[in-house]
Homo-oligomer: A and B are copies of this chain.
């Protein structure tokens, strides 16, 4: 087992230093300059060995990528530009600790670079299993939230559904394995959506569950046409692909409520699937070619189950 400071040094190596950071990782605190006129947007999310990943199926690089990706997806849903992140690592006792930590950071650093998000602080502690808890900080002039959807808005999905859940099955198709291990946060799409959408959420817990959050917070219902849902290429080939798309979770697609007058303008800028509409009331109704379809029994993911 190497010392804390060797591990921190190994972890930090693949990361360039950030812009607008006066005091960076290795110090008690980071000091950051938020751009004038911008709101600071903050989110935190953890991934834990044995719950969110398994080192027999995930490489340490996958773990690093995904830990940051799930946080960037939350920023994307708020229409925020990623700027900085802090990373709290929990590591079990093992002779390979520093090697695994180095590989986690090698998986995380390319996504950080692509997204313009600088590592500015962190923590390392011992624990029974590996976990990576990230707090991501971004900026937005007018952050999107879950509570702005109005009856009459179009309901749209950016990205695809079902593949990440398919990636948990034995011998998944390559697209499904990739969706599960290397989800792509839709940062650019979120930034554009912020100019046109009335509300947004990312699909982390399952389409129906996350749509439920959006509806609850906005005080609206929704009608969803199942044949319009953008199933991923792997889910499309499974007999229960639609179930995975509705309830599978971890897709990190964006769910947008879009006032009708903005729909065409946004369509020109990003690829989206119009899957239904927001309505008065509180209920979510599914249709299949316009005919009512029952809701599935399991509608999403409980992090404590």
Asked if A115 is an interface residue, CB under 8 A from chain B, the answer is no
Task: Enumerate A11-48 residues with CB–CB distance to B below 8 Å.
Answer: 22-23, 27-34, 36, 39-48
In the A-B complex, the 3 residue pairs with the smallest Cβ-Cβ separation, listed nearest first, are A135-B135, A128-B128, A29-B78
Contact residues on A (Cβ < 8 Å of other chain), bracket = 35 or more
Q: Is the CB of B41 within 8 A of A123?
A: no
Number of copies: 2
Partner of A74, one of B1, B28, B80, B131: B28
Nearest-Cβ distance from residue A94 to partner chain B, whole angstroms:
10
Partner of A44, one of B97, B121, B138, B202: B121
| Chain A residues engaging chain B, CB cutoff 8 angstroms | 1-4, 7, 22-23, 27-34, 36, 39-48, 50-52, 74-75, 77-78, 80, 84, 86-88, 90-91, 97, 120-129, 131, 133, 135, 137-138, 140, 143, 145-146, 201-202, 217, 302-305
Q: Is the CB of A48 within 8 A of B126?
A: yes
Q: Is the CB of A133 within 8 A of B88?
A: yes
**Complex CA–CA separation, A135 to B78 (angstroms):** 19
Contacts of A84 in B (CB 8 A): 42
